[in-house]
Structure 1
Amino acid sequence: MSLTDTLGSLAVATKGQYMTGVSVDIGTSFLKPAGVPGDTLKARATVTGIGRTLAFTKVDFTNVAGDIVAYGHHTKFVGKAYGHPENVKFSDDDLADQAPFDSLNTRKTTARRRQSSSSLRAISIGPRTNQLRIQSSALSIHSFAGSETDQSEIHSPAPRRHFLQTDSHQWLKAGPLSSTSSRPNSPLSIASTDNAEALYSSSPRRTRREQTLSFSSLLNHDHVALARQRKATPAFDREHIRSGGDVYEGGNAGAGKRWIRWMHRNRMRDQVLVCSVAAALWIKWCVGLGGYSGAETPPMFGDYEAQRHWMELTNHLRVHQWYTYDLQYWGLDYPPLTAYHSWICGFIGSLMDPSWFELDKSRGIETPGSKVFMLDSGHFQYNSIMLGFTLLALDFFSEGRDELGAICFVASLAFKQMALYYAPAIGSSRLFIRLAVITVASFVVIFIPFLPPFAPLTSILDPITRIFPFARGLFEDKVANFWCASNIIFKWRSWFSQPFLIKLSAALTALGSLPSAIDLVRGGWRVMDNSTMSAPSSVSSTTLGKKQEEAIAVSTLPILPWAMLSCSMSFFLFSFQVHEKTILLPLLPLNLLLSGASNDSFAFEWGVLVNNVAVFSMWPLLKKDGLTIPYFALTFFWNYVLGYNPFKKPTQRRLFRYLSLLVYAAILFIHFVEMFFAPPRRYPDLFPVLNVLVSTPVFFFTWLWSIKRSTEVAWGISGMGGRS
């Protein structure tokens, strides 16, 4: 901690401040053992951002192998030094020559913003003590060669490791680091005059496909680091690693990571993906053999019967009748791709046993054979198909195949309309005419059976009016969103008409999605604007437009999962007629981000908390469907696989951990009371209401957190200022 304090202050001093000010925030995270007595450590302090009042620094501590063993952040108040006449002014010549600090010229010429750093050349661990001994230190100022039109490096304002750093296990991998900085250059730097010819030339270059981080390469990174760690770690730590411990997370790795690394050590790397998919299918199958929605509850039964009934009617009726036949008994209310899926499943099931799907006669059938065939995994039906299409779209976007990504996202929308939760984020990151044409064409292909000459023109209105259920009201059950939580005090449906509530919910949803959409559009616009200004005059407009599209697509990818989380959570909290299970949509981008977070990071702890609370928010629905045992079993199993213990004594971020403990304590208390006591007759919905009051604040603060992180990532990519 003291080294983080000292080196952070020295780094600020290299910016010419006559005084470095007082500390506002400081912290150090230890990733792995530093080594054995006698090993040498290196420390590097970097100013990641400086403004009128605050300066942000980070300090990386590396071992002899170049691996980061610890890192610190240090925020200082520098308001008193801003614009002070005693500040040192660096000249261009001084920066170019990298002159020592004590011989800097103090001419009053303002240099361009430069990356500055303070480095401890060597720190050794004494052979008989654990105290650190500084061997030598030096201050140096590193400058970047370039013209006056160079863009400065733009960094995230948060004093933490950069989200694009190559050793960060994020879902997206950035390019290589610069030679003088531990952070990658901003994508805006590609638009500088010096790099313009390379950007617009026709020579081979790295594609986005080469820049993505695959699952196998992530595991290979861990495998290489593990081999290095075995050589540099004391005997007791090596034994811990052999037993499956985590070299990055201080032994806190979950069973999932330990299992994967065990397979790697035993030369079963190629079987990891197959085993993972097989395990997921086995779990889904086990859950599907349990309770389900509407079991033995005539005359309407439940959602399970709705899925079966759609297979029945799509195999016996013409296409234009699918959305109009007997709407009072589970009328089809999902987009056409769900109907096509039901038709395929019904066709296959009819070959096995025609009685399962006889028109009208098979209503309410619940034979063991039909249930095994349906495989309804709890209450969630086939939502995984919609989420799978979205995940596939993101994968195509990250590989640079935007056309296929657009088609997959249209398929997600055409399977279940809830995929609209992602539309503001994905649409804002892909504002290209070419993709708009592909999107429209994909929708036309999916809806073509409802268009002439296959059906009357009015048939196209049938699925559209069915998939937007405004007639159901603002909400039905006790869902953990803004409307249901506030309705405890403010009776919305009694005080306002339904048309007004529809408009109000639409306005709040749009406002909630707006910040992240602005981050995406603004980031892409700045990249396009800078690339236009720096384009050589010989570049044709066609080539310029294509290169701009590629630059925008690459630059907005790191913002996309945060924007998707923000937009989908906004839809869940504020949109009209929300179902409990739609919390699954915010969990998709959240778990993408969670997969790249270490167990001691804030993102990991927040992500696990939201996942656990999300499952708890669906508890009334799962209990009604007879899924009590799967609910508890899978919740504990999931936390065990991730290596998360909510009741572990906190060592850092204590305020957040204590707040998390309060949430978990409230959840356990509600479960305990509900198990042994019946609700009062006057308040039959007491326990669902308590569930809403516990869950909604967590989702609300998750929405705010996602907006904050989206803005930080956008800042790190494209900066916060205007045109340079």
Structure 2
Amino acid sequence: MAASVDSWSWFTALAVGVSLLKCLFINAYHSTDFEVHRNWLAITHSLPVSRWYHENSSEWTLDYPPLFAWFELGLSQAAQHFDPNMLQVENLNYASPSTVLFQRLSVVFTDLLFIYAVKECCRCVQVQKGSVEVLNRPSFVLAVLLLWNFGLLLVDHIHFQYNGFLFGFLLLSLAKHLQSRHLQGALLFAILLNLKHIYLYVAPAYGVFLLRSYCFTKDHPDGSIRWSSFSPLRLLALGSIVSSVFALSFGPFVAMGQLSQVLSRLFPFKRGLCHAYWAPNVWALYNSADKLLAVLGVRLKLVKEAELPRASMTGGLVQEFQHAVLPSVSPAVTLVCTLLSILPALLSIWRRPRGSRAFLRCLLICALASFMFGWHVHEKAILIAILPLSILAVESREDAGIFLVLTTTGHYSLFPLIFTPAELPIKVCLMLMFTVFSFSALGKLHRAQGSLLRPLEIVYLLGLVAVAIGCEFIFPLSPWQQKLPFLPLLVTSVYCALGVSYSFLRLYVTLLRSDGKAKQL
């Protein structure tokens, strides 16, 4: 039963409030991604389509799918009224006040899609019996968790990106599936894939769910497939929608014979196993174990230090490197690990489809598995799991507990993205406010079912507080800052990797446990 709300005035207030907050960050620190998108504005506005994916005068070449390039072209039509000089390809690292104002406002404006998608998701959550006050409604809690998400505020409106716009498509697609409007959901996800290909992380969940739940119209009472209920027309409709979007996106570049060039930009495997700042995943733990074994090997005189590869993996650079002791990891290995890790979830949803909530849980596992085992994963990709998990967190005590561990760990792992002293109070206060609200609001929603966190989870999160104090306040004042400048990054990645790994395993156990209960029924 969908949430029925007499008035959405509270939602409007939340949306307006967060939009005004975003405007306060216009003159805050911005990362190199600001220049990346300014350069893409210039490329798409000043150059013919045939040169978009060949232009390389800047190191920030166009490496998003074609629909995002057209999106940048659309933004450039407005940008020329702010400062035409930002649209000149040769103006590298151009950041006039008008350019900063336009790009910041463009993120706030395109977030309108995200706001609309959040409202649609809020309509889908189940009503909590006996909940009268707005503040105690699952729809209100979900709206705050999504609209005021700390990670999005940090990554989009300080660091600078357009993730809110992209997550708008993802959440709107999920809302359509929750409403059993599967073709619309498939269309929105196909558009999203052609805007940013990182959402390939969750494509397997979409593919299996749509094939199983949309293309098969009936199941046997025991959950087995009735092949007689397979609908070729539904499969044709689904395939037509997806293929049409891809044809519209890639068609012009196929016609120009540039498909291989576009794909080489989208999948640059020469960037190495890990990003400059390690995402908190399995490979952060693997790299750390390799480093530790190398140090022990030298001290125990089992290996000579001169024979070890240069430890460039801790130098903060994007490049390939060789492990010193453990076997080096190739893109093929990461792909195999990812596929093996999502296979049980895909099999579960194929054998026993249990509605859109089961699909959402499978999607989360695909997102986290790709984050855990993928090649050159960016730390910001953790948001692909955090945001959809918010929907389940307001409905289930078990999911709320997982959400609190994952969101606290994942959000703190984003702290090193903003390293400037002026923004330190901002990121600390924003995360504290979001975290306190998450714990308080979810605790009230599920108070009848007991504590959301287990004792060891509480101990781990308290340890995260100690890590934060050490990395953000103590280490900058210590003599180690000059000798080991990347130590805070290493500690943050490794400690947060433990929390993310735990959340992934607990989410998997929840899925398999529910699958076991379904078999018993």
TM-score interval, normalised by the smaller of the two chains:
0.7 to 0.9
**Which residue of 476, 479, 483 maps to 2:283?**
483
Secondary structure of the residue aligned to 2:67 is: helix
Tell me the equivalent position of 1:291.
Answer: 29
**Which residue of 390, 398, 414 maps to 2:178?**
398
Alpha-carbon distance in 1 for matches of 2:197, 2:421: 24
Alpha-carbon distance in 1 for matches of 2:324, 2:467: 32
Q: Are 2:263 and 1:459 aligned? A: no
Secondary structure of the residue aligned to 2:418 is: helix
Tell me the equivalent position of 1:369.
Answer: 98
Secondary structure of the residue aligned to 1:366 is: coil
Contact 1:617 1:692 in 2 (8 A): yes
CA pair 590-333 structure 1, distance change in 2 beyond 3 A:
same
Q: Are 2:248 and 1:445 aligned? A: yes
Alpha-carbon distance in 1 for matches of 2:341, 2:289: 22
* Structure 1 residues 295-334: aligned runs within 5 Å: 302-326=32-56, 328-334=58-64
* Structure 1 residues 334-345: aligned runs within 5 Å: 334-345=64-75
* Structure 1 residues 42-191: aligned runs within 5 Å: 173=1
Tell me the equivalent position of 2:491.
Answer: 690
Number of residues of Structure 1 aligned to a counterpart in Structure 2: 411
Alpha-carbon distance in 1 for matches of 2:328, 2:487: 29
Letter in 2 for 1:521: W
Tell me the equivalent position of 1:272.
Answer: 10
Contact 2:273 2:376 in 1 (8 A): yes
Contact 1:386 1:419 in 2 (8 A): no
Alpha-carbon distance in 1 for matches of 2:96, 2:468: 36
Which deviates more, 320-329 or 397-406? 320-329
Tell me the equivalent position of 1:474.
Answer: 273
Q: Displacement of 1:675 after TM fit?
A: 4.1
Alpha-carbon distance in 1 for matches of 2:462, 2:327: 39
Alpha-carbon distance in 2 for matches of 1:497, 1:320: 44
CA pair 489-640 structure 1, distance change in 2 beyond 3 A:
closer
CA pair 341-679 structure 1, distance change in 2 beyond 3 A:
farther
Secondary structure of the residue aligned to 2:484 is: coil
CA pair 653-359 structure 1, distance change in 2 beyond 3 A:
closer
Letter in 1 for 2:88: E
The superposition leaves residues 225-270 of structure 1 with CA deviations (integer Å, 9 ceiling, x where unpaired) of xxxxxxxxxxxxxxxxxxxxxxxxxxxxxxxxxxxxxxxxxxxx23
Alpha-carbon distance in 1 for matches of 2:44, 2:474: 45
Select the structure that is richer in helix: 2
Alpha-carbon distance in 2 for matches of 1:414, 1:691: 33
Q: Displacement of 1:272 after TM fit?
A: 1.9
Alpha-carbon distance in 1 for matches of 2:422, 2:60: 21
Q: Are 2:343 and 1:613 aligned? A: no
Contact 1:523 1:714 in 2 (8 A): yes
The superposition leaves residues 464-491 of structure 1 with CA deviations (integer Å, 9 ceiling, x where unpaired) of 1111120111113222111122212226
Gaps of 5+ in 2: 105-155, 216-234, 292-320, 443-449
Alpha-carbon distance in 1 for matches of 2:73, 2:163: 17
CA-atom RMSD, angstroms? 2.8
Alpha-carbon distance in 1 for matches of 2:79, 2:484: 45
The superposition leaves residues 609-659 of structure 1 with CA deviations (integer Å, 9 ceiling, x where unpaired) of 32121121111111159632331121022134335399xxx9784343333
The superposition leaves residues 494-546 of structure 1 with CA deviations (integer Å, 9 ceiling, x where unpaired) of 3699996111111111111112111111114xxxxxxxxxxxxxxxxxxxxxx
Alpha-carbon distance in 2 for matches of 1:564, 1:443: 21
Secondary structure of the residue aligned to 1:494 is: coil
Tell me the equivalent position of 1:282.
Answer: 20
CA pair 398-682 structure 1, distance change in 2 beyond 3 A:
same
Gaps of 5+ in 1: 1-172, 174-212, 221-268, 294-301, 525-554
CA pair 502-326 structure 1, distance change in 2 beyond 3 A:
same
CA pair 499-661 structure 1, distance change in 2 beyond 3 A:
closer
Tell me the equivalent position of 1:354.
Answer: 84
* Larger RCO, structure (CA 8 Å, separation 6 or more): 2
**Which residue of 697, 701, 713 maps to 2:502?**
701
Alpha-carbon distance in 2 for matches of 1:627, 1:515: 42
TM-score, normalization by structure 1: 0.53
Contact 1:379 1:625 in 2 (8 A): no
Alpha-carbon distance in 2 for matches of 1:387, 1:511: 26
Q: Are 2:409 and 1:409 aligned? A: no
CA pair 666-340 structure 1, distance change in 2 beyond 3 A:
same
**Which residue of 339, 353, 366 maps to 1:510?**
339
Secondary structure of the residue aligned to 1:476 is: coil
Letter in 2 for 1:286: L
Alpha-carbon distance in 2 for matches of 1:394, 1:690: 35
Contact 1:679 1:687 in 2 (8 A): no
Alpha-carbon distance in 2 for matches of 1:608, 1:378: 23
The superposition leaves residues 689-709 of structure 1 with CA deviations (integer Å, 9 ceiling, x where unpaired) of 110121001000111111111
The superposition leaves residues 264-295 of structure 1 with CA deviations (integer Å, 9 ceiling, x where unpaired) of xxxxx2312221221222222223431100xx
Contact 2:33 2:160 in 1 (8 A): no
Tell me the equivalent position of 2:223.
Answer: none
Tell me the equivalent position of 1:519.
Answer: 348
Tell me the equivalent position of 1:590.
Answer: 389
Alpha-carbon distance in 1 for matches of 2:434, 2:266: 33
The superposition leaves residues 166-199 of structure 1 with CA deviations (integer Å, 9 ceiling, x where unpaired) of xxxxxxx4xxxxxxxxxxxxxxxxxxxxxxxxxx
Q: Displacement of 1:665 after TM fit?
A: 3.1
Alpha-carbon distance in 1 for matches of 2:164, 2:199: 12
Q: Displacement of 1:712 after TM fit?
A: 2.8
Alpha-carbon distance in 2 for matches of 1:409, 1:307: 23
Q: Displacement of 1:429 after TM fit?
A: 0.7
CA pair 499-311 structure 1, distance change in 2 beyond 3 A:
farther
The superposition leaves residues 309-339 of structure 1 with CA deviations (integer Å, 9 ceiling, x where unpaired) of 1001101111121110126531101111211
Letter in 1 for 2:20: W
Greater C-alpha radius of gyration: 1
Contact 1:639 1:645 in 2 (8 A): no
Contact 2:82 2:102 in 1 (8 A): no
The superposition leaves residues 134-170 of structure 1 with CA deviations (integer Å, 9 ceiling, x where unpaired) of xxxxxxxxxxxxxxxxxxxxxxxxxxxxxxxxxxxxx
Secondary structure of the residue aligned to 1:692 is: helix
CA pair 701-640 structure 1, distance change in 2 beyond 3 A:
closer
The superposition leaves residues 337-359 of structure 1 with CA deviations (integer Å, 9 ceiling, x where unpaired) of 21111111111111333122123
Contact 2:290 2:325 in 1 (8 A): no
Tell me the equivalent position of 1:72.
Answer: none
Identity of matched residues, %: 23
Contact 2:402 2:506 in 1 (8 A): no
Select the structure that is richer in strand: 1
Tell me the equivalent position of 2:158.
Answer: 378
**Which residue of 635, 638, 649 maps to 2:431?**
635
CA pair 496-461 structure 1, distance change in 2 beyond 3 A:
farther
Tell me the equivalent position of 1:124.
Answer: none
Alpha-carbon distance in 2 for matches of 1:625, 1:521: 50
Contact 2:348 2:515 in 1 (8 A): yes
Letter in 2 for 1:331: T
Which deviates more, 507-516 or 493-502? 493-502
Tell me the equivalent position of 1:551.
Answer: none
Contact 1:562 1:709 in 2 (8 A): no
Letter in 2 for 1:699: V
**Which residue of 359, 373, 395 maps to 1:574?**
373
